[in-house]
Amino acid sequence: MPNCRLLAILLLLVACATHVPPIADRADDPRLLAEVRAVVAELGHGMRAAVWLGPARGEPQLAWNVEATMPCASAIKAAYLVELFAAHADALDRPLPGADAVLADDQHPAVAHFTPAQRAVAQQALAGVSTRRLAEAMISSKGVDNLTYNVAANLVTACLGGPIWLQSKVHARDPLWRGLHVRRYMLTDRTVNGDNDATAHSLAAVHGSLAARSVDGLSRQTIEACRLILVRAADAQGRAVFAKGGALDSDPVTRVEAGWREGPQGAVVHVVMLAQDGVAAAERTAAGQRLGAAARRIEQLLLAPR
């Protein structure tokens, strides 16, 4: 495990890396932006929103608050996937070294906040699985419950050195990814060490790199392996769908839809980030449902054929 001095030096070097110019609000189609803003306005007070639409590379067609730091919930796992596969590119079909030991250690911060029953379910689902299968559980929750889906992400985080060290890897991967912040294991208290958050610009950069099949330090084969984990069923227009969203019903209530679509005209990257602050505990589930529906509505507006 790297010592604190080495970590501090690395983070300092990352902070001094290439400056990334911020993206100002813009809209090639002002009517589309007005429609997006109207959906957000309907959600009421305490709302924050950030939206990106654009090609895999280059300037966005629509950018609204894309440099604002927003809670990102599980949407940040797209970057975890890249770092996991980069570190174990030649062993994706073998178990992730150290993962079973973390899973069995009820004092490890990656799993200590889960109940014994929850850890038992996760052990049954994840013990001894391949790195590829662990990634699948972490990204799509295929074959696992929501808690195990988050345990999978925590095993990945722990085996990559913990939240701060994983963040340093993400920041070193690409200057455009430095808007991503890994401060905690999934489902731990969001206030103790700070929340995992991101800018829409940085999330768009992660998905744009994968859409363009150009991720610094990754082979074409490894990029394709990442893409296969993110792929979903084709949309109504026959476009290939790649996605990783996120949802949390604690304060602030959070919904994120992010990914890209590929069709004859190329790839279109989108990010929709919504957060509502100050929602009473008893009302958060309903608020999450409203934000989820709004995020999907905005996604539909952005990706509608034109």
Q: What is the DSSP string of 17-80?
A: S---PPPPPEESSHHHHHHHHHHHHTT-TTEEEEEEEEESSS--SEEESTTS-EE-GGGGHHHH
pTM: 0.94
Q: 284-303 and 30-41 helices cross at what angle (nearest 10)? A: 170
Token readout for 154 is: 């925590």
Q: What is the CATH number of the domain that holds 25?
A: 3.40.710.10
Digitized pLDDT (tens) for each residue of the chain, 306 residues in all: 445 445 545 554 555 556 789 999 999 999 999 999 999 999 999 999 999 999 999 999 999 999 999 999 999 999 999 999 999 999 999 999 999 999 999 999 999 999 999 999 999 999 999 999 999 999 999 999 999 999 999 999 999 999 999 999 999 999 999 999 999 999 999 999 999 999 999 999 999 999 999 999 999 999 999 999 999 999 999 999 999 999 999 999 999 999 999 999 899 999 999 999 999 999 999 999 999 999 999 999 999 987
Beta strand 26-27 pairing with 47-55: unpaired
Question: Would you call the peptide bond into 252 cis, given omega within 30 degrees of 0 as the criterion?
Answer: yes
Residue 168 lies in a domain: yes
Residue 8 belongs to a domain: no
In a domain, 12, yes or no: no
219 with 88: CB under 8 angstroms? no
In a domain, 39, yes or no: yes
Task: Mark 58-87 as b/e (b = at least 16 C-beta within 10 Å).
Answer: eebbbbbbbbbbbbbbbbbbbbbbbbbbbb
Q: How many domains does the chain have?
A: 1
pLDDT of residue 1: 44
User: Does 266 fall in a domain?
Assistant: yes
Residue 86 belongs to domain spanning: 21-303
Q: What pLDDT is recorded for position 305?
A: 86
User: How many residues can be counted in the chain?
Assistant: 306
Q: For residue 14, is it within any domain? A: no
Is residue 10 included in any domain, yes or no? no
Distance CA 76, CA 242 (A): 14
